[in-house]
Chain A
Amino acid sequence: MNSPLKIYLIVASVLFFVFIVNMVRTKKLKLKYALTWLLTGLSFVIMAVFPETLFFLARILHIELPVNALFLCVIFLLLLIVFALTVAVSRQATRIKNLIQELGLLKEELKSGDK
């Protein structure tokens, strides 16, 4: 697979990885949430440079076409990330709700204290 495609893939995956590192560096992305993306980016780079890893993966998973092994892994990973995000959103929603209630009660207390 020494085609231009390989070059493109390597360039794209390296750029993706650098982009994520930069986002973390400039604090636009919390490291906690960036970890999965860093690992994803790194595995993209590895697979682009050494496609053999993908063939190996397909063999141990008993999947005939390496590309299907890739799809399987990517879909699985995406599901994990989306699920983690849903958990994070639920937690945030509860925290925000508690803050709003607390703020409302505090405002009332302040006003009744004025009288």
Chain B
Amino acid sequence: MKVLVIIPAYNEAENLPGLFKDLKQAEGDFDILVINDCSKDDTEKVCREHNIKVVSLPVNLGIGGAVQTGYLYALRHGYDIAIQVDGDGQHDPQFIKYLIQRLNEGYDLCIGSRFIENEGFQSSKARRIGIRYFSWLIKLLTGKRITDPTSGFRACNRKVIELFANDYPIDYPEPETVVTVLRNRLKVCEMPVIMRPRAGGVSSISSTNAIYYMIKVTLAIIISAISKKVVTDSE
């Protein structure tokens, strides 16, 4: 079974070495691919120094465009499982094996959630309210309770890789893609994980664009819920 760890990175030269170290210590057999989203720092150099495969985009695409590049790579190189891990060190690679375990139990997408055991870094109060609102909206539209729809720590199988390689939103993709996967009658589960506060750098969601973020993601979730199915039922 071929497993690929996709790491979208924008100006993460400081955080990547630590992440690579954790990945080496983590259990499991997987390849690592960094998508360097046209960073202005030494992200690419750091990857080469550590002998990690890196795809450097010539133009900054935003998190969604970078992650999708990873799924395209996974699709073309015949990977069975793709795991998304943020480049900022918030996601602890030791949980990767648990995510893979759940996929082997028959799930198509497994999300690492902060809010099942409520352990580790819980984000700010304002963000938790936002996350709970998205969780409620997704439950309303799909009937499925997802406690941490904004989590970018997730593993998926071949079916979902194909789906994402084909269609993935450019900005703030996480909640929207959960709905797309559910909408295509694929099975989604969550796995408790412990996240860390980001080691360095800044979040892509600042307080000034929070309102745009809420509106955009709300619309995206609704549209995603009423979109046409892409995956045809195999049975």
Which residue from B59, B73, B170 sits with its C-beta under 8 Å from A105? Answer: B73
Q: Counting CB contacts under 8 A, is B81 at the interface?
A: no
- Assess whether B65 is in contact with A97, with CB atoms less than 8 Å apart: yes
Chain A residues with CB under 8 Å of B56's CB are: 104, 107-108
Chain B residues with CB under 8 Å of A103's CB are: 57-58
- Assess whether A104 is in contact with B69, with CB atoms less than 8 Å apart: yes
Min Cβ gap A49→B in Å is 47
- Assess whether A97 is in contact with B61, with CB atoms less than 8 Å apart: yes
- Assess whether A101 is in contact with B58, with CB atoms less than 8 Å apart: no
Chain A residues with CB under 8 Å of B59's CB are: 96, 100
- Assess whether A104 is in contact with B57, with CB atoms less than 8 Å apart: yes
- Assess whether B53 is in contact with A101, with CB atoms less than 8 Å apart: no
Residue of A nearest to B76 (CB): A105
- Assess whether A101 is in contact with B57, with CB atoms less than 8 Å apart: yes
- Assess whether A101 is in contact with B65, with CB atoms less than 8 Å apart: yes
The size class of the interface chain A forms with chain B is 10 to 19
Q: Counting CB contacts under 8 A, is B68 at the interface?
A: yes
Q: Counting CB contacts under 8 A, is A112 at the interface?
A: yes
Q: Counting CB contacts under 8 A, is B54 at the interface?
A: yes
Chain A residues with CB under 8 Å of B9's CB are: none
- Assess whether B170 is in contact with A100, with CB atoms less than 8 Å apart: no
Q: Mark A77-115, 1 if CB is under 8 A from B, else 0.
A: 000000000000000010011001101110110001000
Chain B residues with CB under 8 Å of A93's CB are: 170
Q: How far is the CA of A112 from the CA of B68 in the complex (A)?
A: 20
- Assess whether B170 is in contact with A112, with CB atoms less than 8 Å apart: no
Q: Counting CB contacts under 8 A, is B221 at the interface?
A: no
Residue of B nearest to A112 (CB): B53
Q: Mark B66-104, 1 if CB is under 8 A from A, else 0.
A: 001100110010000000000000000000000000000
Chain B residues with CB under 8 Å of A101's CB are: 57, 61, 65, 68-69, 72
Q: Which residues of B contact A (CB under 8 A)?
A: 35, 53-59, 61, 65, 68-69, 72-73, 76, 170
7 A-B pairs with the lowest CB-CB distances in the bound complex, closest first: A104-B57, A101-B69, A108-B55, A104-B55, A100-B59, A97-B65, A103-B58
Q: Which residues of A contact B (CB under 8 A)?
A: 93, 96-97, 100-101, 103-105, 107-108, 112
Q: List 16 A-B contacts (CB under 8 A).
A: A96-B59, A97-B65, A100-B59, A100-B61, A101-B61, A101-B69, A103-B57, A104-B55, A104-B56, A104-B57, A104-B58, A105-B55, A107-B55, A107-B56, A107-B58, A108-B73
